[in-house]
Amino acid sequence: MDKRLIYVDNAATTKISKPVLDAMMPYLTDGFGNASSIYSIGMNSARAILKARETVAKALGAKTSEIYFTSGGSEADNWAIKCAADAGAGRGKKHIVTTVFEHHAVLHTCEYLEKHGFEVTYVPVDEMGLVHPEDIEKAIRDDTCLVTVMFANNEIGTIQPIPEIGEICRRKKVLFHTDAVQAVGNVEIDVAAMNIDLLSLSGHKIHAPKGVGAMYMRTGVNLPNLIHGGAQERSKRAGTENVAGIVALAKAIEEAVKDIPAKQAKLSKMRDRLINELTKIPESRLNGDPKKRLCGNVNISFRGIEGESLLLSLDLEGICASSGSACTSGSLDPSHVLLAIGLPHSTAHGSLRITLSEDNTDEDIDAICEAVPRVVEKLRAMSPLWERILRDEDIDAE
């Protein structure tokens, strides 16, 4: 049996690319200077950060002064939401609009704010996993201080109508934040044209290391700090800069946005082949819109089996994927995203998420198309739930 590793969980994290590793290595070795120091190796670090900031800004259509480096996507989300809320509260605005299927970095931050006197409207999504801009518009009130909607969903890959939502927010004079962690490098982003005020991104989803990210904050927004301390990041985000990480992030984003249409063409071809083949399995369904989705995202549910068993079985075949089952989330409920698009619990438990990168090959797709039907059949053969499905029983009746 072919035992080479087939890594198709790129929405979870990615492998550091060779150009990224080469770019960051000098700052992990001799170029270790603190960017706040006055001697040459310190100044060298400061120069590297400045250059990195220019690169990240260019990739997003932003100004250099609008980019702030963070420890990752979650910090950027926390910063944008908590501090926009803080600023809003000062003007008597204590209402936030978001959606039901955001990443937990957004949802749990909103839930935290609810415990501290804020009101949050969780706008639903349709069964394809898309937010309707008119629903966002209806949810905005006079006391709304922030709208936060993810650019692309991390589980089902659906790409949201961000320019339309941006236009609404600008017209209504409400701050607009988007968690673009999954979108960067997969979708063309222009923060100015899309009327985005705040945007979060993460390095390790685009072949940079874990522990670095960035926030775009439009000129004039001027949120309060989340992390107080030294004067780093123009006094907006304290803490000695992760120079190697920042340089890596810049290199990664430069590579990621170099030719997005080519990447989309390559990955969507592999994606669609997987979707075609795997939905031939009886009692399977594609989750999320077939077209308005990230070029590398496949999310399919198989009735009668449980996701963690599916992942462990695929791991035995050398395939690394992900699921929205409760067992893999560390909670007792299956994915809030799959429940939000209307899947019954039993079906949500049996989901498989495959997320591709440019490192994947047609041979990887062949191997997955061969392994998944076999593994699903094996698990169904030992599933008492599958017996009931075959008898046409209503398994979701409680």
Catalytic residues: 327
Q: Determine whether 214 is exposed, middle or buried from the number of CB atoms within 10 Å of its CB (0-12, 13-18, 19+).
A: buried
Q: Which is nearer to another protein, 92 or 384 (CB)?
A: 384
Range list of β-strands (E), the chain: 6-7, 67-70, 95-99, 119-123, 144-148, 175-179, 198-202, 213-217, 284-286, 297-302, 319-320, 351-355
Q: Total residues contacting another protein (rule CB under 8 A)? A: 27
Q: How far is the CB of 31 from another protein (least distance, A)?
A: 37
Instruction: Give the bridge partners for 181, in sequence order.
Output: none
Choosing from 345, 358, 373, 377, the residue that interacts with another protein (CB under 8 A) is: 345
Choosing from 143, 277, 308, 358, the residue that interacts with another protein (CB under 8 A) is: 308
Q: Which is nearer to another protein, 182 or 313 (CB)?
A: 313
Q: Which is nearer to another protein, 154 or 346 (CB)?
A: 346
DSSP string, 319-375: EE-B---HHHHTSSS--HHHHHTT--HHHHHTEEEEE--TT--HHHHHHHHHHHHHH
The 354-393 site mask, x for binding another protein (CB under 8 A), equals ----------------------------xxxxxx------
The structure tokens 């080519």 sit at 262
Question: Cα(240)–Cα(217) distance, rounded to whole angstroms?
Answer: 20
Q: How far is the CB of 341 from another protein (least distance, A)?
A: 17
Which part of the chain contacts another protein (CB under 8 A), choosing from 11-19, 64-72, 102-110, 298-306?
A: 298-306
1 touching another protein, by CB under 8 A: no
Closest CA to 66 of 57, 75, 58: 57
The 130-169 site mask, x for binding another protein (CB under 8 A), equals ----------------------------------------
Choosing from 130, 152, 168, 305, the residue that interacts with another protein (CB under 8 A) is: 305
Q: Which is nearer to another protein, 31 or 318 (CB)?
A: 318
For residues 247 and 27, is the Cβ–Cβ distance under 8 A?
Answer: yes
Count the alpha carbons within 13 Å of 10 in the hemisphere toward its beta carbon. Answer: 28
The two most distant CA atoms of the chain are separated, in Å, by 76
Question: What six digits make up the tokens of 205?
Answer: 């989803």
Q: Which is nearer to another protein, 317 or 358 (CB)?
A: 317
Q: Please, what sign has the CA dihedral across residues 337, 340, 341, 345?
A: positive
| C-alpha dihedral, 181 to 182 to 186 to 187, nearest 10° | -70
Instruction: Give the bridge partners for 284, in sequence order.
Output: 302
The footprint of another protein on residues 197-236 (CB under 8 A) is none
353 touching another protein, by CB under 8 A: no
**Cα–chain center distance at 349:** 21
Which part of the chain contacts another protein (CB under 8 A), choosing from 136-144, 181-189, 282-290, 306-314?
A: 306-314
Closest CA to 286 of 357, 345, 353, 355: 353
Which part of the chain contacts another protein (CB under 8 A), choosing from 67-75, 113-121, 284-292, 324-332?
A: 324-332
Q: Which is nearer to another protein, 136 or 326 (CB)?
A: 326
Q: How far is the CB of 74 from another protein (least distance, A)?
A: 20
Q: Which is nearer to another protein, 78 or 323 (CB)?
A: 323
The footprint of another protein on residues 325-344 (CB under 8 A) is 325-327, 330, 332-334
Which part of the chain contacts another protein (CB under 8 A), choosing from 86-94, 104-112, 134-142, 323-331?
A: 323-331
DSSP 8-state symbol, 83: H
Site for another protein, rule CB under 8 A: 304-309, 312, 316, 325-327, 330, 332-334, 345-346, 349, 382-387, 395-396, 398
